[in-house]
Structure 1
Amino acid sequence: MPRGLGQLSLLHRLSDFILPKDKALAKKYCGLGELNRLNNIRRSLFIKNLGSVTDAGKESQAANLIEKRFLEILTLSWGNFDITDEAIIKKRGEALLDGLRPPENLQELRVWGFKGERFPGWLTDLPNLVALKLWTCTRCRHFPQVGLNKLKELRMEHMMSLEYIPEECLRSLTSLEYLYFKNLPRLTSLLPGLRHLSKLVDLTFWGCEELDLSKDESGNIILDFHGLQSLRSVKFWEIPKLESLPQWILQLRNLERLHIFSCDNLKALSEQIEALQSLQWLQIEDCRSLTSLPEGMRRLTSLTHLTISLCPELKERCKRDAGEDWYKIDHILDLDIEPYFSF
């Protein structure tokens, strides 16, 4: 961005603010300080190449984001830079994000490539935040203890070091409707915190290698999930520890859609699956260890669509009029039993 941009104090729209990648160009182009007086920016702001900032504390404070009271959506992206000193990376990242505190009226925060281990305390002090999206914050190990009671959407992707999310955090997300976790390889459990999300509508887990959806951190099976009666859609994708449907799934009386993709160790659906009397759509793809359907499938009277693909043995058992499991599914109006993915 050209130097002098910060003089446009009445500017209303600035979608992208791009910092120079090359330090040699820093004197010719904008630093974060040019944002200081741009307090009339409306709607959204995307700040790119934050990884190029060296004086993290000073420059982030100079940006004065907290005074941009008309800002609704803020995206912060670090980018890729050749810095190998882990201590420097961590220190700069945390100091930078700490100083980029947004205004209290912010509704959506997106963070891409944050280099620190901990998020700043102000993250849980944004009273109007309804969406939080975190991508590729690969060093982050901990999530704030206290949540946001207006948050409706929480999305995390490629959080390679995140090990747990405190139950207190999930308990406080009283308005959460959409939860999406992708590629969190160290996350081991979300139980029992998950059961507190009484307004949750859509839940997705994708590529969580260590995640056990049946037990808590101590190995205890959590049974009471009757509070999740708003949940309508659940997706499991590449969850190696999913060997059968977790018992709490069977308590979701209003569940309408269940999708299970590429769960190599899934060996059985529950014999009590008939408890899901609101289930309308069941999709099972690339679950090669699943070899039969439970008897309870016959009593899923609301089920109108069933997809089975890349499940060789199960496909054979579900052959029309000839397969051993055909009688369990012959009442379903829309059957898609094919040897390929159908997204």
Structure 2
Amino acid sequence: MYQQPCKMRTIALESCENIDESFLSTCISRFKYLRLLKLTNASWELLPSSIVSLKHLRSLDLTANERITALPNSICKLQSLQTLNLCGCVNLEEFPRDMRNLISLRWLELTTKQSSFPENGVGCLTSLRFLSIWECSNLMCLPRDTSYLASLRTVIIGNCKQLDLVIPLRLQKLGIRKVPRMVALPEWFQGATNTLQVLVIEDCENLEALPGWLRSFTSLRRLILNSCPKLLSLPEEMHRLTALTDVWIVDCPDLERRCQRDTGEDWPKISHVPNVYFE
């Protein structure tokens, strides 16, 4: 006797060390109406190609699966998918070749062993608004062709030791963490002069200065500088940034001392806070 698929909408498991591929295959075959599938800290190597049958899936979270090496190209047919989290998948060797077909994808968090992104990949996601790149120790450059990323507003980059930053986009929020190759903010950054609202720079051990042209960022409202020991000063006339209401400086000893000495009435309050991310 024919049985209709169960209309379960959500499966969310925080710790999946003892769950094998057969469990995942069963979920895919039985629950055709899933909207959210979250299986974090899993220990299987492959995502079944049958995931293409989850036509209604909007969010797929595979955070911290340290054994998975690849994703099936069939995942690119999930045209309802809006969120994909692959953060902490430290052995992920490559992304599907047709990622540009994820036409609804708005949020992407990833870790990869790749040194560069392939054509028709991340750089072609026209709906993408949030991109987080973590622990990509081999990654040397971001997508070469970013002309399709017109919707991208937030980029967070963390612990990418080989990465050269080139992001010629009109961003609203930018977070950079553990990028030791960065000595100064690159010139392309001026492309966000009229749009950037939040700038977070953390654990950039060789960052020596912020450029004078930063004071032209008229939309900037939050500046967070954390653990940048070589950073000695801020650009002059920062009081021109009338939208800037929060400046948080943490573990930048010389900069903290200088700012505390030079702060005037027009300068925003400087706070000592723990690690701070985006709101």
Shorter-chain TM-score above 0.5: yes
Q: How does 1:108-187 map to 2 (within 5 A)?
A: 108-112=59-63, 113=65, 115-147=67-99, 148-156=102-110, 159=111, 161-187=113-139
Compute the TM-score of the two structures, normalised by the length of structure 2. 0.83
Deviations 1:89-135 (A, max 9, x none): xxx733x5334444122111122416343210111111110000114
Deviations 1:274-323 (A, max 9, x none): 23111111111110111122235343232222122211111222124xx3
- Mean Cα deviation higher: 279-288 or 238-247: 238-247
Compute the TM-score of the two structures, normalised by the length of structure 1. 0.69
How many Å separate the matches in 2 of 1:102 and 1:170? 23
Structure 1 residues 314 and 236: alpha-carbon distance in aligned structure 2, compared to 1, 3 A threshold? same
Structure 1 residues 105 and 297: alpha-carbon distance in aligned structure 2, compared to 1, 3 A threshold? same
User: In the alignment, what sits opposite 1:242?
Assistant: 182
User: In the alignment, what sits opposite 2:204?
Assistant: 263
How many Å separate the matches in 1 of 2:84 and 2:140? 21
Secondary structure at 1:198 match in 2: coil
> For residue 26 of structure 2, what is the amino acid of its counterpart?
A
How many Å separate the matches in 1 of 2:4 and 2:230? 58
> For residue 244 of structure 2, what is the amino acid of its counterpart?
L
User: In the alignment, what sits opposite 1:277?
Assistant: 218
> For residue 59 of structure 2, what is the amino acid of its counterpart?
E
Structure 1 residues 167 and 269: alpha-carbon distance in aligned structure 2, compared to 1, 3 A threshold? farther
1:290 aligns with 2:231: yes
> Is the 1:141–1:163 contact (alpha carbons within 8 Å) kept by the matching residues of 2?
no
> Is the 2:52–2:78 contact (alpha carbons within 8 Å) kept by the matching residues of 1?
no
User: In the alignment, what sits opposite 1:12?
Assistant: none
User: In the alignment, what sits opposite 1:232?
Assistant: 172
> For residue 150 of structure 1, what is the amino acid of its counterpart?
S
Deviation at 1:160, TM superposition (A): 5.6
1:39 aligns with 2:5: yes
Secondary structure at 2:35 match in 1: strand
How many Å separate the matches in 1 of 2:53 and 2:67? 18
RCO higher in structure (CA 8 A, sep ≥6): 2
Secondary structure at 1:287 match in 2: coil
Residue number among 260, 274, 279 corresponding to 1:341 in the alignment: 274
Secondary structure at 1:272 match in 2: helix
> For residue 158 of structure 2, what is the amino acid of its counterpart?
W
Deviation at 1:257, TM superposition (A): 0.8
Greater gyration radius: 1
> Is the 1:212–1:241 contact (alpha carbons within 8 Å) kept by the matching residues of 2?
yes
User: In the alignment, what sits opposite 1:79?
Assistant: 42
- Mean Cα deviation higher: 307-316 or 296-305: 296-305
Q: How does 1:7-26 map to 2 (within 5 A)?
A: none
How many Å separate the matches in 1 of 2:130 and 2:186? 20
Deviations 1:127-157 (A, max 9, x none): 110000114322211112322111010012x
Runs of at least 5 residues in structure 2 that lack an aligned partner in the other structure: none
> For residue 62 of structure 2, what is the amino acid of its counterpart?
V
Structure 1 residues 193 and 311: alpha-carbon distance in aligned structure 2, compared to 1, 3 A threshold? same
How many Å separate the matches in 2 of 1:342 and 1:78? 24
> Is the 2:73–2:97 contact (alpha carbons within 8 Å) kept by the matching residues of 1?
no
Secondary structure at 1:316 match in 2: helix
> For residue 174 of structure 2, what is the amino acid of its counterpart?
V
> Is the 2:6–2:30 contact (alpha carbons within 8 Å) kept by the matching residues of 1?
no
How many Å separate the matches in 2 of 1:275 and 1:193? 27
Deviations 1:245-276 (A, max 9, x none): 12222211211111111110111112211231
User: In the alignment, what sits opposite 2:55?
Assistant: 104
> Is the 2:179–2:204 contact (alpha carbons within 8 Å) kept by the matching residues of 1?
yes
Identity of aligned residues (%): 26
Secondary structure at 2:55 match in 1: coil
Count of matched residue positions in the alignment of Structure 1 and Structure 2: 271
Deviation at 1:239, TM superposition (A): 1.3
Q: How does 1:212-231 map to 2 (within 5 A)?
A: 212-214=164-166, 225=168, 228-229=169-170, 231=171
> Is the 2:161–2:181 contact (alpha carbons within 8 Å) kept by the matching residues of 1?
yes
Secondary structure at 2:133 match in 1: strand
How many Å separate the matches in 1 of 2:98 and 2:135? 23
How many Å separate the matches in 1 of 2:34 and 2:155? 29
Structure 1 residues 67 and 79: alpha-carbon distance in aligned structure 2, compared to 1, 3 A threshold? closer
How many Å separate the matches in 1 of 2:228 and 2:269? 17
> For residue 165 of structure 1, what is the amino acid of its counterpart?
F
* Coordinate RMSD, CA, aligned: 3.0
